[in-house]
Structure formats: C-alpha cells, structure tokens
Chain A
Amino acid sequence: MNMKSDDIILSGKGVTKIYGFGPNRTVAVDHVDFSFKRGEVISIVGESGSGKTTLAKMLLGLTSLSDGQIYFEGKLRDIRTHRQKREYWKNCQAIFQDPFASFNIFRKIDAVLLDCIRLRHGRRLPDEQKVEMMREACRFVNLKWEELTNKYPFELSGGQQQRLMIARIFLLRPKILLADEPTSMIDACSRATILDMLMDLRSEIGMTPIFITHDIGLAYYVSDTVYIMEHGRFVESGSADDVILRPKEAYTRRLLDDVPKLHEEWDLSTV
C-alpha cells in the first residue's frame, strides 16, 4: 500500500452550497477549505443543521456545488457526464445513516450486491464468480450469503442491514468512504461491531474513511484528523488529540460537554 503522509486524496477550496434565493436564501456550507490525506481517518463533527450532510453530498457528487472546487487525487474533479460520475463513484462511496431507508424495499439483497459487482467489474463475469464474490463479502461482515439470497433487505435487523452496507463497500473497494452517521440508528452493541468492521475494511482495502458525525466521542475513538463544523464553516481542525483534548473554540468545548459521561450528573442546560 502506497501511503505517503503528504499524499492528498481529496481537497476542496471555497466549497459552498446555497439553497434558495431571495429571502429564502440559506447558506448550508460556507466557503469551506479542506485537504484529506490518503489513508487517514477523518471525522467531520458538528451538530444537526451545521451543514455536514450537505458537505458529504457534495463530496459524493450527489449535489452540485454553488461555488468552489473539489480536487480528487490532485486533479479538478469533473463529474458532469454520467460516465464520469460512474468512474468517480467507483472511487468514492458512502454508508448512510438510516439502514432502514437506505435500501429499495422492492429489490432483493442479491440485486444490491450484484449492482456493486457490475459497477466495479462490468457485466462480463461468470455467475459462479459473482456468487463467490458475494459469499466472500458476506463472510467479511459475518453474514451468511446462503441466508440472505432471495431475501429483501427489510427482512434483516438494523445492524445486519448496516453490515450489508459494509459488504457493498467490500465489493466496491473504493478509495474514499463517506460514512454519514453510520452508527447513530443502531443499538450500542452493534455500534462497536460496525466500527470495528469499518476499521478492518480500511486496512483490508486501503481506503480513506471520512466519518460525518455529531458524536465527538466516536470521532476521538476512530479518527486521525478532526474537522469541527458550525453553521456551514470549519471552526477548528487538526489531529484528533489536538482538537479534542485541547479545544480552542467554545463550540468544540460545548460539543465535548454534551458527551454523556457515566459517573457524572448530566448537564441538560445546553440542550
């Protein structure tokens, strides 16, 4: 694996998203600069409405930019045509917050996984090889393909669905993975499993995970670099230790205070 410390995989300059116009004008993301190093675990932390999900969608290319540029592997990202988008999505994938809403309820699990194989390898693969790939992906996330085939995603539990999502990523092997609150909708026991799997997957396929989260504890637990986002801007960024153990901004300190602690009375005054 080629992991130079100054190898920038994704960077942005003045990235802005404005919704509406006139009196309805809302600046969701306001001239944000960033550069994500290859192989690092990055977290973007902010409370609800801070613009982190909009930023994630722009990074994924699901939403257009109102202003600014995004550079992928040093080159200006160009995803105007559908073909270019497909190329980009081979390298940049996502895991969404709500596993129950992430799957089309009319399509079977096999179809979801076969989509990934088709995107990465094209159509010309023998069926046995496809099955073997699906089996391997399921094994990686501790699911049995034999039990999943011909089933619908909604027949699984939330944790299983999120693991199925990771199996997708395993098949696609992207360079960047945007995980938008990947553990917020599942129970605490599955949470650690999911995070461990994502970390295993990172070392397995050498991708750069970007966590979008409101949970600063999670950010500290997993990431190398942390960006703190407030009202569409990055107010603080740096290594996880710097930002979280020695916060400079009041907003960061408030986020830290909101993390529930086991042996202290909860302070609900800021909620």
Chain B
Amino acid sequence: MRYMLGQIFSSVRFRIGFSIFAFILLTVLIYPLIITEPPLKTISRGTFLSPGIYVNVYDSIGFSPQYTLLLDGAAERRIAAKLNADDRASMKEWLVKAGLPEESIDTQDTAALLEVWHANFDPTIRLPGMTNADRNYYIRLNTALDGLLATEGATIAVPDATTGALKEQAVVDQTSYVNIYEVPNSRVFPLGTDNFGRDVLTELVAATGVSLIIGFVAGTVATVIGLLLGLISGFLGGFVDDAIIFVTNLFTVIPSFIILILITFSIGQDKRGAITIAVVIGLTSWVWTTRAVRAQVISLRNRDHVNLSRLSGHSTAYILMADIFPYIASYVVMAFILQVSSGILAEAGLSILGLGPRTTEVPTLGLMMNWGMIYQAHILGKWWAYFPVILVIALITFSLNLMQTGLDRVFNPTLRE
C-alpha cells in the first residue's frame, strides 16, 4: 500500500493534479469557517459591484481618527479622476466648434483649460451637429467642474432636530486620511457582487463545494451501477450478458445528455434538489464503465486463478469480489475520477440550460453561470460574475483529469516514459 502510494505520487502529473484539487478542496472546507455568512445572502443594493474594498463613508468622515498626509501629486490624481482624458477631449471639441482656434487649447493644462471653458461655455448655445444627449452631457460636465480646482476642505453639517438648521460637525481637508483598519465598517469584495448583490467569492466557494458533492454522488452512482452490471454481465455471460449489453447499447446510442435533459425536465423545478440532479446524472452516465468493466472481466474470468478459486468452492459473489474486482480496481478508480469530473460538467451544462437544481437553497457552479448569463454579465462586461466560475470548473476538471492520467501511467507500465 505504502509502496503503491509512493509510486502514484512519483508521477508529476498526479502530483500537480492532486495539489490543485487539494487546494480547491481545502478552500471549500476552510473558507466557511472564517466567513460564516450564508452564501446566498443579498448584501448590496444594486447589482454587479466591481471587486474592491468598500469603506463606510459615514464612519470614515465622522467617527474615525483623521490623519494629515502630505503626498505628492495627490491633487493631480484627484483632478484626473474627476476629469478624465475623454472629458478633456470633449471640452476641446466643444470649444473648437464654438469658434476658438484649436492651437490655443491645451488639454493637459487643467487650469488654463478650465479658464477658457468658463469664459466661453454657454449651455443655451446650440452648436451644429450636436444632439440633445450631447447637450445634456455638456451641462452635466459643466456642473461637475464646479470646485474642481478648489483647495479648501469640505464641511460636514448635521441638521438640527427641531429647527432644521445645519450645524457644522467636522471639516474634511483635502489632505485628510483615514486608516481603513480603524474604520469600523468596511467590506472586501475580492470578486465583487453578482446580479442579486451577493458576495461572488463566498457564493463561489459554496457553489464549488456543492458542485464537488454533485460530482462525487454522480460519479459514485455511475461507477457502482457500471461496476455491478459490468461484473455480472462479464462473469455470468449467456442470457444475462445479452440482456445487460442490450440495455447498455441502447443507452450508448442515445446521447446521454439528451436523456439527462428529458429526465430533469420531467422531474420539475420544485422537486430538483442538488442531490436529485446528481443521482440523475449518475443514472445516465454508467454506460462506458459497464462496457469497459465487462470487457476486462471477460478477459479475466477464464484465467487460472479464477478457475482455482472456483475449484476451492468459492461462491460467484466471492469470486467477483476477491478474484476479479482487485484486478480491475485500478481501472475503476480511474473511471470514477473521470465520472466525477464529467458529473460536474454535466451539472454545469444542465444549469446553463435552466434545468439545474432549484435556485432557492444552494448555489452550484452551473447555477452561477446561469445567473450570469440571464442577467447579461457577459454583455455588460461584469467578468467577475462568470469568469471565476469558469476558471474553477476548468481547474477542477483539469486537476481530476491530470490525476487520472497520472494514475494511468502508474497502473499501465507500458505508458510510462
């Protein structure tokens, strides 16, 4: 046993695949211990918040200690954030159209640009070729330019409860800073939020766990059915073999994904739990395991050690378990790994079509892609809502397949380099 494990882990492919898989598995196990929030809880109002650190504004201006930092270029960065290159180009375009010589406008010199702008801009003027939308944009831009170059701070005022008069509470200078760690409320969204305003990372970790369970259940069901049918059909032969191989051939020629779609569709949305889906996937994907196991058993059943076991008076069940199964166990383990990976993919495929588990209880990787697709994350460019999901699916199947080929090389010495 120890020797065999050593052999298996000597394969580089297996080691890489195992490391990736172990990392994913550990993340799924440990992450919920640290972030105990339910994965499907709506956190943000508004959808698809981009990844980043969200700091409570009220807390940071009112209650956190403020520090003065004198940083070079802070003002330039502030102005650049408010007035980007596109806006500057638009301003220049307006001014040129209004009749100013093009050479006199320098978009890089913010102070000069603003001076020319304030001197010439008039929202009532209709320039030729300008649509209403363009006009509104320039009016908005003009309003935003107010106080752009101001150097004084902002005043925080609180309305008095009885009179309604504003009372000055605090002044925030342009050089004021807060330490994020001293702000009582802040939240990190490493992968932003999704269309329902849920934290994508928390959801992704939970979905990965559920998808792995679906994969393992589907793989176990498929492998157990495939193994039992293959063992029985190959060892007994005759009529039993004919009957089993007839059914197997039926399932082989009908694409299993279509059967899968039909079964899940007929189950109905409200009865489809994650485990139900997993069992259905398992029930439709045992075919190749059966065929492969049957072929191996047929080649094994007439070997001398099986004959010797029969001569020793063992029952058929015992012979299947003790004399046949150990010889094909390595193959079955490899087939199981592939079944797990194809189970995860099948769930993703079903959910994309809207036939996945019902959406109220648990997230799955397929459901997350489904939501991303329905709410047009791919069109809106909200990559964080679907790309990490694709990456996790790819990593899981990649690591499982890598482990499988690694095992193949250990168990089939002819494949060794």
The reply to whether A94 and B311 contact each other, CB–CB distance below 8 Å, is yes
The reply to whether B311 and A104 contact each other, CB–CB distance below 8 Å, is no
**Whose C-beta in chain B lies nearest to the C-beta of A94?**
B311
**A contact residues around B314 at 8 Å (CB):** 115
**B contact residues around A60 at 8 Å (CB):** 307, 311
The reply to whether A104 and B307 contact each other, CB–CB distance below 8 Å, is no
- What is the CB-to-nearest-CB distance from B357 to chain A, in angstroms, rounded to a whole number? 40
Within 8 A of B (CB), among A77-111: 82, 85-86, 89-90, 93-94, 96-98, 101-107
**A contact residues around B322 at 8 Å (CB):** 104, 106-107
Task: Tell me if A's interface is mostly helix, strand, loop or mixed.
Answer: helix
A116: Cβ under 8 A from any B Cβ: yes
The reply to whether A101 and B303 contact each other, CB–CB distance below 8 Å, is yes
A52 to B303, CA, bound (A): 17
B323: Cβ under 8 A from any A Cβ: yes
- What is the CB-to-nearest-CB distance from B90 to chain A, in angstroms, rounded to a whole number? 79
- What is the CB-to-nearest-CB distance from A156 to chain B, in angstroms, rounded to a whole number? 14
Pick from B304, B312, B326: contact of A115, CB under 8 Å: B312
The reply to whether B304 and A89 contact each other, CB–CB distance below 8 Å, is no
B313: Cβ under 8 A from any A Cβ: yes
The reply to whether A102 and B311 contact each other, CB–CB distance below 8 Å, is no
**A contact residues around B315 at 8 Å (CB):** 82
* A189-231 Cβ-contact flags toward B at 8 Å (1 or 0): 0000000000000000000000000000000000000000000
**B contact residues around A90 at 8 Å (CB):** 313
A86 to B312, CA, bound (A): 8
A119: Cβ under 8 A from any B Cβ: yes
The reply to whether B307 and A94 contact each other, CB–CB distance below 8 Å, is yes
The reply to whether A102 and B312 contact each other, CB–CB distance below 8 Å, is no
**Whose C-beta in chain A lies nearest to the C-beta of B308?**
A102
Pick from B312, B316, B327: contact of A116, CB under 8 Å: B312
With A101-B303, A102-B304 already in contact, the answer to whether A93 and B326 are too (CB < 8 A) is no
A62: Cβ under 8 A from any B Cβ: yes
Q: Identify 18 new A-B residue pairs, CB closer than 8 A, beyond the known A82-B315, A89-B310, A98-B304.
A: A57-B307, A60-B307, A62-B310, A62-B311, A85-B313, A89-B311, A89-B313, A93-B311, A94-B311, A101-B305, A103-B308, A104-B305, A104-B308, A105-B305, A106-B327, A115-B312, A115-B313, A119-B312
Q: Across chains A and B, which 9 residue pairs bring their CB atoms closest together, nearest first? A: A115-B312, A96-B304, A106-B326, A102-B304, A86-B313, A119-B313, A104-B305, A101-B304, A89-B311
Interface size on B, residues (CB 8 A): 17
- What is the CB-to-nearest-CB distance from A66 to chain B, in angstroms, rounded to a whole number? 14
A90 to B312, CA, bound (A): 8
B44: Cβ under 8 A from any A Cβ: no
Q: A: which residues have CB within 8 A of B?
A: 57, 60, 62, 82, 85-86, 89-90, 93-94, 96-98, 101-107, 112, 115-116, 118-119
The reply to whether B307 and A96 contact each other, CB–CB distance below 8 Å, is yes
- 23 of the cross-chain contacts (CB-CB < 8 Å) are A82-B315, A85-B310, A85-B313, A86-B313, A89-B310, A89-B311, A89-B312, A90-B313, A93-B311, A94-B307, A94-B308, A101-B305, A102-B304, A102-B308, A103-B305, A103-B308, A104-B305, A104-B308, A112-B312, A115-B312, A118-B313, A119-B312, A119-B313
**Whose C-beta in chain B lies nearest to the C-beta of A106?**
B326
Which one of B312, B314, B316 has the highest number of Cβ atoms from chain A below 10 Å of its Cβ?
A: B312
A55 to B55, CA, bound (A): 87
Pick from B309, B313, B316: contact of A104, CB under 8 Å: B309
**B contact residues around A103 at 8 Å (CB):** 305, 308
**Whose C-beta in chain B lies nearest to the C-beta of A120?**
B313
A102 to B312, CA, bound (A): 12
- What is the CB-to-nearest-CB distance from A97 to chain B, in angstroms, rounded to a whole number? 7
A85 to B316, CA, bound (A): 12
**A contact residues around B313 at 8 Å (CB):** 85-86, 89-90, 115, 118-119
Q: B: which residues have CB within 8 A of A?
A: 303-305, 307-316, 322-323, 326-327
**A contact residues around B326 at 8 Å (CB):** 104, 106
A98 to B323, CA, bound (A): 17
**B contact residues around A116 at 8 Å (CB):** 312
- What is the CB-to-nearest-CB distance from B349 to chain A, in angstroms, rounded to a whole number? 39
- What is the CB-to-nearest-CB distance from A129 to chain B, in angstroms, rounded to a whole number? 19
A65 to B323, CA, bound (A): 25
A82 to B311, CA, bound (A): 11
**A contact residues around B309 at 8 Å (CB):** 104, 115
**Whose C-beta in chain B lies nearest to the C-beta of A97?**
B304
**Whose C-beta in chain B lies nearest to the C-beta of A89?**
B311
Pick from A57, A96, A106: contact of B308, CB under 8 Å: A96
**Whose C-beta in chain B lies nearest to the C-beta of A119?**
B313
**B contact residues around A98 at 8 Å (CB):** 304
- What is the CB-to-nearest-CB distance from B324 to chain A, in angstroms, rounded to a whole number? 10
Which one of B303, B313, B327 has the highest number of Cβ atoms from chain A below 10 Å of its Cβ?
A: B313
- What is the CB-to-nearest-CB distance from A104 to chain B, in angstroms, rounded to a whole number? 5
A86 to B326, CA, bound (A): 24
A200 to B84, CA, bound (A): 104
**B contact residues around A86 at 8 Å (CB):** 313
**B contact residues around A94 at 8 Å (CB):** 307-308, 311
A103 to B303, CA, bound (A): 10
The reply to whether A62 and B312 contact each other, CB–CB distance below 8 Å, is no
A101 to B306, CA, bound (A): 9
With A86-B313, A106-B326, A107-B322 already in contact, the answer to whether A62 and B305 are too (CB < 8 A) is no
Which one of B308, B310, B314 has the highest number of Cβ atoms from chain A below 10 Å of its Cβ?
A: B308
A105 to B330, CA, bound (A): 14
- What is the CB-to-nearest-CB distance from A239 to chain B, in angstroms, rounded to a whole number? 30
A21 to B312, CA, bound (A): 32
A90 to B311, CA, bound (A): 8
The reply to whether A102 and B310 contact each other, CB–CB distance below 8 Å, is no
- What is the CB-to-nearest-CB distance from A96 to chain B, in angstroms, rounded to a whole number? 4
**Whose C-beta in chain B lies nearest to the C-beta of A103?**
B305
- What is the CB-to-nearest-CB distance from B386 to chain A, in angstroms, rounded to a whole number? 48
A241 to B326, CA, bound (A): 48
**Whose C-beta in chain B lies nearest to the C-beta of A96?**
B304
**A contact residues around B303 at 8 Å (CB):** 101
**A contact residues around B323 at 8 Å (CB):** 104
A102 to B323, CA, bound (A): 11
